[in-house]
Chains A and B, each alone.
Chain A
Amino acid sequence: MSAADKNSSPYSDLTSANGHDNPGLPHHRPRRADVDKKAGKRAERQTALLFAISIIGTVIAIWAYFGLDIGDGGDVAAIQQINMWIGIGVFLAMIGIGLGAIHWAKTLMRDHEMVEERHELRSSDEARAGAIQNLKDGAEDSGLAGVERRGLLKGTLITALAIAPLSVLVPQIGNMGGDWNVSKFRHTIWGPGVRLARDPDGALIKASDVTIGSVFHVIPDGLHELDHAAMMNEKAKSVVLLVRLDPKDLTIQQGREDWSFDGIVAYSKICTHVGCPVALYEQQTHHLLCPCHQSTFDVANGAKVVFGPAKRPLPQLPIAVDDDGYIVAQADFDEPIGPSYWDRLKGGDDTAVEEETR
């Protein structure tokens, strides 16, 4: 009692606030079923009806599962019918129970509010003192505290506990990263002489097929010869958009004078913001729009950013036309495609990856 007394000062005067008296619980008004036997009976019947609806719902769901014709297993519409009826069955089965129980509670169960005292959460002073004493006794028994302090035990135990998780985590984390060769980011399968092919059918593209204003979604020829997993990884880096502009609209970038062919330019389709495919081309403005975050790139001017969250232009794929008239790449991209990362501008093939694999 003493502890409670000491700490109950904020509540010392529970019956009033700001000088006003607490008027106490409002008068309880009886419901119709409390005073009228007939109304009570009616509520009981209504509740039973709701429970009955639930029973019907369960029957409907089971009937739908067994009773409806599934067709030959290849009939999408038949399955959808079954789904809908099972769903309606579940709905009735559940809502019947729910509304029934609530109706019961609202009409027939007690609605006269009761009062319960709260107890302060703080433990009593005796309990606290006892807890502290127990901990002290325990610490003394263990030798971690008290007369015979075994400091060496404490130090080694803490160190052991702190590093023990590494015995599991290091192999786990180490294995999860595959070969950790993050320099793969900077290469695609584009290279000298690789022909440009249409996505997804792989048809090769002749320069004469590309009319002014048209846009091609492009993959490197030979991509589909890879196995699926490798194909996905490579495709994620190597997709390209090929556009032909009227050469007089095109501003050739310095140092890239021979990267385009008669108004045909090819840019990486992977956004330099967070890597969505930049798939929406506006023919009139020569703008490429990323539908994910609306970075907008000007194809007529080096695919530089004109709006949105990206900072860098899309990397350009240098192209030429081979003897058979097909469009080919002159080389791989000269920079990593896609979103920026910390060591994007660093190193060549053997980017120092060892240090983080520890």
Chain B
Amino acid sequence: MGATLNSAASGTANYVDERTSIGGFVKFFARKLFPDHWSFMLGEIALYSFIVLLISGVFLTAFFVPSMETVHYEGPFATMHDVEMTKAFESTLVTSFEVPGGLLMRQTHHWSALLFLASIMVHMCRVFFTGAFRKPRELNWLVGFTLMILGLAAGFTGYSLPDDVLSGNGLRIIDGVIKGVPLLGSHISFWLFGGEFPGTALIPRIFTAHILLVPGLILALIALHLFLVFLHKHTQYPGGGRTHRNVVGLPLFPVYTAKAGGFFFVVFGIIALVASVFTINPVWNYGPYDPSPVSAGTQPDWYILFIDGLLRMWPGWLFGLPTEWELWGYTLSLNILIPSVIVPALFFGFIALYPWIESWATGDKGEKHVLDRPRNVPVRTGIGVGMIVFYVILVLEGSNDIVASLFHLSLNDLTIFFQWGIFILPVLAFWITKRLCLGLQRKDRELVLHGHETGTIVRHEHGEYVEVHSPLDDEERWVRVSFDNHKPLEIAPERNDRGVARKGYRWDRFKQRLSRFYYEERIEPVTPEELEAAHHAHSDAPSAHGLADAADAKGANERLDDEWEELDEGATKK
């Protein structure tokens, strides 16, 4: 049996290899090493929830009718009986109430979309805070960033497809935003909607975008993203034996085939459980789109909240001055343009370009494969936390009515608080985070120099009490002393000896300023000399007594351990 199977397998392998030379690929990939860390799974969650999206999406396309033709509902869901609606909405009801497994797949699709975007964003944070975007991975950061934007597009188009009253109001907001674009706004709106809002063209159009254009691009970019991961080999956290020139880990086959492959099934399983137990987007309660009604607490899916928050936050009148201008008879709606286009563009632009911004400040041209501990780059970590705070404020403002009623606050006060907070809180968060990082680095120095606190207090003969410290082991020490100690850039002077100004000085000076912002304030790693001196201090300072006492204390600890083990064994024997 086994022999037949083996010969069949080798026969197939031979057949394929003679036509593809796949043997070389298998040899290369099968035992490729990947480092192990829980935070490396975040990107996997994004990948797997995308696969679940494809599977559940294919199920849904069999039943969804992307049409804005009107019908009267005659299905089993009583409250919608005889209501006039588009076929898109009707087929959503049919999928939900007449197809066994249909609602399950709708909910699976929606939950995995939320998980897809959430995991992308958390994965981006991991990459950011550990510096995994540094050379040679800048381009892959950009690919991942584009995937995030495409994820937002996929989410929004999908959310709009059922043509319910909530998503319809979302589209109306999009229409309003588009109309706010100077010069071409009303024409772009006509182009998108095929005429006036809402028209009859939109649902088929966004359907094509949702099931073909956007997922096609996402698939292509995922392929590129993973290809680059393979090409670069995965980053690894600092530790003994790990350097920028090696990768320490376990082989793709079998360990990561089992772990990562198994993790896909875990993600799928959990989404299925959530989808079968928790209702999401019950469009049958909202009803089909009608331009007139809207309910209190209207808000989009969470990943769009930040733009909604910006729209809510930017006032129509600022200190008595309008933010919508009428210039020479034309209307410039800054109250729409700034919050919905300019601020998101600046925010996303900064994220996209961040790897280059930091590399200007660092001036390091080497490949970086060992990750940073966030504390060791305090300014980057501070910027990251500042941006998260910025984003979270916008998300909270995007649901300010719900926050206000939940905490019994005045809606207006809350908005005013966020209007000020958006300027103040991210800066405050940056500063606090930076201080915390520097503090943690000082703590690292302290640990390296003086060791762990043991909780053992020793009294010397002359009456002095001291706490015994146990030294760090090699691994613990290495992690704390091996980080990149960047210093502010030194640049060549503006003029050479003959007083001639050189080209590129201004750009250099900008980089130097940036560099000072990043690295002026820093905690130096412990040098071997300091370590040596500290060891001497420990053995000398409290005189020979100290050493002897420490030895005593150590002996006492061992004795206690032994006693404990004896007790433990006694207990198990009984």
Query: Which of A239, A308, A356 interacts with B187 by CB under 8 Å?
Result: A356
**Contact B246–A116 (Cβ < 8 Å):** yes
Chain A residues contacting B267 (CB-CB under 8 Å) are 98
Q: Is B200's beta carbon under 8 Å from chain A?
A: yes
B476 smallest CB distance to A (angstroms): 10
Taking CB atoms and an 8 Å cut-off, the chain A residues in 332-354 that contact chain B are 338-346, 353
**Contact pick for B335, options A14, A235, A311, CB 8 Å:** A311
Residues on the A chain within 8 Å of B477, using CB: 20, 23
**Max count, chain A CB within 10 A of own CB: residue among B247, B254, B294:** B294
Residues of B within 8 A of A120 (CB): 367
Q: Which of A115, A121, A280, A345 contacts B231 (CB 8 A)?
A: A121
Bitwise, A9-38 to B at CB < 8 A (1) or not (0) is: 111001101111011111000000000000
Docked complex Cα distance between A291 and B478 (Å): 56
Q: Across the interface, do A229 and B251 meet the contact criterion of CB distance under 8 Å? A: no
CA distance A84 to B275 in the complex (A): 9
B263 touches A115 (CB 8 A): no
Q: Which of these, B186, B249, B317, contacts A343 with CB under 8 Å?
A: B186
Does B176 belong to the interface (CB within 8 Å)? yes
B33 CB within 8 Å of chain A: yes
Q: Name B146-201 residues within 8 Å CB distance of A.
A: 169, 172-173, 175-177, 179-187, 189-192, 194-201
**Closest residue of chain B to A240, judged by CB?**
B292
Which residues of A have CB within 8 Å of B108? 87
Q: Which residues of B contact A357 (CB under 8 A)?
A: 187
Contact residues of B: prevailing secondary structure: mixed
**A86 in contact with B330 (CB, 8 Å):** no
A18 touches B525 (CB 8 A): yes
**Is A194 an interface residue when CB atoms closer than 8 A count as contact?**
no
With A11-B243, A176-B191, A311-B324 known as contacts, the answer to whether A275 contacts B180 (CB < 8 A) is: no
A263 proximity list for chain B (CB < 8 A): none
**Choice from A184, A292, A311 contacting B294 with Cβ under 8 Å:** A292
**Nearest B residue (CB) for A341:** B179
What chain B residues lie within 8 Å of A59 (beta carbons)? Answer: none
Other than A87-B272, A277-B293, A294-B411, give 16 A-B pairs with Cβ distance below 8 A: A19-B527, A79-B100, A95-B270, A98-B268, A113-B248, A118-B246, A118-B369, A182-B190, A199-B292, A200-B290, A229-B68, A232-B289, A274-B172, A309-B336, A311-B317, A345-B331
For B316, list chain A residues within 8 Å (CB): 273, 295, 305, 308-312
Q: Offer 30 A-B interface pairs, CB within 8 angstroms, sorted by A.
A: A11-B245, A14-B243, A18-B483, A19-B529, A26-B474, A74-B75, A74-B76, A76-B77, A76-B97, A79-B97, A80-B103, A87-B276, A88-B273, A101-B259, A104-B258, A113-B250, A114-B33, A116-B249, A118-B245, A176-B191, A176-B201, A185-B196, A236-B291, A273-B311, A293-B311, A294-B415, A308-B415, A342-B184, A342-B332, A344-B331
Give chain A residues whose Cβ lies under 8 Å from the Cβ of B259.
101-102, 105-106
The complex places the Cα of A305 from the Cα of B315 at a distance, in Å, of: 10
Say whether A246 faces chain B, with CB atoms less than 8 Å apart.
no
* Complex interface: chain A residues within 8 A of B244 (CB): 10-11, 14, 118
Residues of B within 8 A of A219 (CB): 292
B400 beta carbon closer than 8 Å to chain A = yes
Size category, B interface: 35 or more
Contacts of B315 in A (CB 8 A): 308-309
CA A180 to CA B192, docked complex, whole Å? 11
A200 and B478 CA atoms in complex are apart in Å by: 73
Cβ of B91 within 8 Å of any chain A Cβ, yes or no, is no
Number of residues in A with C-beta < 8 Å to the partner?
112
Residues of A within 8 A of B248 (CB): 25, 113-116
Q: In the complex, what residue of chain A is closest to B528 when comparing beta carbons?
A: A19
Q: B251–A22 contact, CB under 8 A? A: no
Most buried by A among B192, B291, B298, B483: B291
The reply to whether B250 and A110 form a contact with Cβ atoms under 8 Å apart is yes
Give complex CA distance A76, B98 in Å.
8
Shortest CB–CB separation between residue B371 and chain A, in angstroms?
Answer: 14
Residues in A neighbouring B75, C-beta threshold 8 A: 74
Residue of A nearest to B232 (CB): A121
Residues in B with CB closer than 8 Å to A342 are 181-186, 330-332
- Are A280 and B296 in contact (CB-based, < 8 A)? yes
Asked if A229 and B364 sit within 8 Å, CB to CB, the answer is no
| Residues in chain A near residue B483, CB distance under 8 A | 17-18
Q: Identify B195's interface contact among A17, A24, A178, A277, CB under 8 A.
A: A178
Q: Mark contacts of A240-282 with chain B using CB atoms, 8 A cut-off: 1 yes-contact digit, 0 otherwise.
A: 0000000000000000000000000000010101111101100
List CB contacts (< 8 Å) of B368-407 with chain A: 369, 400-401
Which has the most chain A C-beta neighbours within 10 Å: B97, B196, B298? B196
A75 beta carbon closer than 8 Å to chain B: yes
Chain B residues with Cβ below 8 Å from A279 are: 292-295
Q: Mark A208-229, 1 if CB is under 8 A from B, else 0.
A: 0000000001010000000011
Determine whether the beta carbon of B241 is less than 8 Å from that of A25: yes
Contacts of A20 in B (CB 8 A): 477-478, 481-482, 528, 531
